[in-house]
């Protein structure tokens, strides 16, 4: 791979990551968990989002998949307000529909 293509691919990857992390959809998801203002810098946003994920979305808490109680009340029901907000944000972030890789 030429150096130019490598640099171009790295630039595209960084731009895509930046766009994802700075997405208003992530702001709305963070608000659902009491974080009304994510930091502005990408690194700080990643740290804040990591803490939200650890506190609210990591149902395994270090356990093996088969050891998790999936009837946990933290899991919301399909069609609920929380469910709809999460899947709307996921759609906006490009995480719901099939897509082809750029390169």
pLDDT in tens, the chain (103 residues): 677 777 788 899 899 899 999 999 999 989 988 888 899 999 999 999 999 888 887 777 777 766 766 555 545 677 778 788 888 998 998 888 887 665 5
Number of compact structural domains in the chain? 1
Q: Look up the domain containing 28 and give its range.
A: 23-37+78-93
Is 30 among the domain residues?
Answer: yes
Q: Among residues 9, 22, 15, which one has the least CA distance to residue 92?
A: 22
Is 88 among the domain residues?
Answer: yes
Is 66 among the domain residues?
Answer: no
Q: How many residues does the chain have?
A: 103
Please check whether residue 38 is in contact with residue 45, taking contact to mean a CB–CB distance below 8 angstroms.
yes
Is 48 among the domain residues?
Answer: no
Q: What is the pTM of this model?
A: 0.66
């Amino acid at each position: 791979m030429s150096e130019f293509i490598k640099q171009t691919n790295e630039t595209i990857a960084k731009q895509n990551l930046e766009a994802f992390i700075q997405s208003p959809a992530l702001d709305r998801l963070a608000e659902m968990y009491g974080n009304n203002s994510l930091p502005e810098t990408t690194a700080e946003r990643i740290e804040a989002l990591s803490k939200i994920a650890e506190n609210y979305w990591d149902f395994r808490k270090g356990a093996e998949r088969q050891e998790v109680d999936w009837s946990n009340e933290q899991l919301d029901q399909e069609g609920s307000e929380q469910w709809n907000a999460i899947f709307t944000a996921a759609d906006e972030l490009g995480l719901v529909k099939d897509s082809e890789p750029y390169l």
